[in-house]
Amino acid sequence: MSDLYCVFGNPISHSKSPVIHTAFARQCRQDLRYEALLAPIDGFAASVRTFIAAGGRGANVTVPFKEEAFRLATRLSVRAELAAAVNSLRFDGAEIVGDNTDGAGLLRDLLVNLACPIAGRRVLLLGAGGAARGVVAPLLEQRPATLVIANRNVSRAQELVQCFAASASASLLCPGGYPELAGQSFDLVINATSASLAGALPPLPAAAGIFAPASLAYDMMYGKGDTPFLAFARAQGVERLADGLGMLVEQAAEAFHFWRGLRPDSTPVIAALRARSEAGPAG
């Protein structure tokens, strides 16, 4: 019988994870079945237990259950502990092991796929939700010259900065709010807000020139064509634009490794998904 994996979310029908993991399994000659499961908003833990009882070996976890998965895990990786969120679970006997592969996925997409070094660069991270929290430590490990976190709700950004300040080797700053970004420019601007999901743009100062020459604008959101953030960056003259499709596939590759001990080649899977969605920005 094939080993059983799934992704839990609500909603979940849009998830590309089944396509990605099925491609990885084929590539690595692993006999596994992967499906998307809709967990009720108030029934995540029960859904996980039912899945384990049915023989499930591991699961991905997406919105809105990452924090609940963190609390459900009986053992955590260091990066899951730092992120205080779990996007990958492995069921080892009685143990529920939790990991967070989002940060590693983003880093691999930036460093390898997009050849965008972070060391010594000025980085701006927009947003202070779960996705932002998961990428702060991996970004800091790369020793940027500075990492600035801006969020609509300023106190959430300040909280995030305080959490990581002690371990930060780079200067880790919260500017106050979006208006305070005026007059500062960055080599890499990462949109980790969910604004694009609603077709909105974070309230960036319009004429402030936050994008340094040759900067990269990165939106964790992905889809057909430019997101509002990428359209804004393009209008500001930014030539290097990337959406979060590469991050999605890379975090999945990390999860696959967490489960199976094998690292799939993400490049053909990113290319196939990109072709299916009729392109979108990259590089």
Binding-site annotation, residues: 15-17, 62, 87, 102, 127-131, 220, 222, 244, 251
Q: Which of 62, 155, 127, 26 is nearest to 136 (CA)?
A: 127
Whether omega for the bond prior to residue 64 falls within 30 degrees of 0, making it cis, is yes
- Catalytic, out of 6, 47, 61, 66: 66
- Residue set of the binding site for shikimate: 15-17, 62, 87, 102, 222, 251
Contacts (CB under 6 A) with ligand NDP, residues 242-271: 244, 247-248, 251
- Answer for which of 15, 193, 215, 266 binds ligand NDP (CB under 6 A) is 193
String marking each residue 24-53 x if it binds ligand NDP according to CB under 6 A: ------------------------------
- Nearest residue to ligand NDP by CB is 129
DSSP per-residue string spanning 95-133: EEEEE--HHHHHHHIIIIIS----TT-EEEEE--SHHHH
101 is written with which tokens?
Answer: 């592969």
- Whole-angstrom Cα distance, residue 110 to residue 80? 20
| Pairwise CA distance, residues 211 & 208, whole Å | 9
**What's the CA gap between 128 and 120, in Å, rounded?**
22
Q: Which stretch binds ligand NDP (CB under 6 A): 126-134, 163-171, 206-214, 263-271?
A: 126-134
Q: Which stretch binds ligand NDP (CB under 6 A): 7-15, 40-48, 73-81, 191-199?
A: 191-199
Distance CA 16, CA 274 (A): 12
For 158-201, give the DSSP string.
HHHHHHHHTT-SSEEE--SSGGGGTT--EEEEEE-SSGGGGT--
Amino acid sitting at position 118:
I
Asked about 66 being catalytic, the answer comes back as: yes
For the chain, the farthest-separated pair of C-alpha atoms sits apart, in whole angstroms, at 60
CB of 114 to ligand NDP, least distance (A): 13
Q: Of the ranges 75-83, 90-98, 163-171, 188-196, which one interacts with ligand NDP (CB under 6 A)?
A: 188-196
Nearest to 82 by CA among 177, 164, 187, 185: 164
Contacting residue, 194, 205, 228, 277, with ligand NDP by CB under 6 A: 194
Buried b (16+ CB within 10 A) or exposed e, 37-48: bebeeeebeebb
Element (H, E) at 253: helix 245-260
Residue closer to ligand NDP, measured from CB, 88 or 184? 88
Build a one-symbol-per-residue string for 46-85: x at contacts with ligand NDP by CB under 6 A, - elsewhere: -----------------x----------------------
Nearer to ligand NDP by Cβ, of 63 and 145: the residue is 63
If binding is defined by CB under 6 A, does position 127 make contact with ligand NDP?
yes
Minimal distance in Å, beta carbon 198 to ligand NDP? 6
Distance, in Å, from the CA atom of 113 to the CA atom of 93, rounded to the nearest integer, reads 36
Q: Which part of the chain contacts ligand NDP (CB under 6 A), choosing from 33-41, 158-166, 179-187, 240-248?
A: 240-248
Q: Provide the binding-site residues for ligand NDP, judged by CB under 6 A.
A: 63, 102, 105, 127-132, 151-153, 156, 192-197, 200, 202, 220-222, 244, 247-248, 251
Task: Supply the residues annotated as catalytic.
Answer: 66
